[in-house]
Amino acid sequence: MKIMFLYLTLSVMLCAVENELFSFSADFNQSIKDEHNKTITYEGSVITKRPNFALWHYKKPVNKKIYVYHDVVTVIEPEMEQAIIKRVTDNIDIFTIINNAAKIDANHAEAHYNDQKFLLTFNNNHLLSSIFYRDELDNKVTINFSKQRSNLEINSTLFKATIPQSYDIIK
């Protein structure tokens, strides 16, 4: 559940970095480092749209898609031929959190949510370039973005998962 919450939170955070921002897309590189400095790295792309839409496509080391469509998160794992569907009932007001984040300097801000701190870095075009935080297991998580694009016209149906009939569905 915490992973689902994290995906939803980050998806909405990407949409909320500027008041005028209504969509965001980028490639990403995510690294998770544990207390023994063991690191796992993921690569993929993300597309988000206000108010609560996102598609995280993990491409390496494993292919996986995470769809956020309002309050439903669907994880499709082709290698396992399964889909996990979870309704998120928490009232997450991440837009307010980001809008009230404390600016550290011209390119950095700090946001807090549920006793968790997020450090945000923005590029010179004021687009989100990285997020750093510690997860519930105290792992250091860094997500770096490249090829960022903002305010694209995106049809909301893109965020609705299509599950192959042969897949197992876990609710």
Q: Pick the residue with more confidence: 28 or 68? A: 28
pLDDT at 102: 86
Query: Confidence band (pLDDT; 50, 70, 90) for 143?
Result: very high
Distances in Å between the Cα of 157 and the Cα atoms of 5, 70, 116, 138, 154 are: 21, 11, 32, 36, 9
The dotted CATH code for 2-170 is 2.50.20.10
Question: What is the per-residue pLDDT across 10-65, written as a single tens digit (0 to 9) for each?
Answer: 554 554 444 566 788 999 999 999 999 999 999 999 998 887 888 999 999 999 99
pTM value is 0.81
Contact between 23 and 154 (Cβ < 8 Å):
yes
The residues, any chain, with a CB within 8 Å of residue 40's CB and separated by 6 or more, are 31, 32, 61
Of 139, 137, 141, 109, which is closest to residue 29 (Cα–Cα)? 141
pLDDT above 70 covers what percent of the chain? 80
Domain spans of the chain, in order of start: 2-170
pLDDT at 90: 58
